[in-house]
Amino acid sequence: MENEIILTTLEKISNALQKMNLRINDLEENINGFNKSQTQAISDIRNDLVDLKSILESQ
């Protein structure tokens, strides 16, 4: 009887840890995606500034 309670408790803990792990993975993916989009935005701005500089220098 006591072993069944322990086993049930361990299963509940295991399920909770698996859910937490999935949430952590989702957060990690979101952070990585955010970092990539930020890096792309910075690159786009730099390219726009180079284009603007070229336009201004040609005037």
Compute the CA torsion angle 45, 46, 51, 54 (nearest 10 deg).
140
pTM: 0.66
Domain chopping of the chain, boundaries:
25-59
Amino acid at residue number 20: M
Rounded distance, CA 23 to CA 16, Å?
11
Q: What is the mean pLDDT of residues 33-54?
A: 95
Q: Three-state SS for 59?
A: coil
Write the pLDDT tens digit of every residue in 47-56.
999 999 999 9
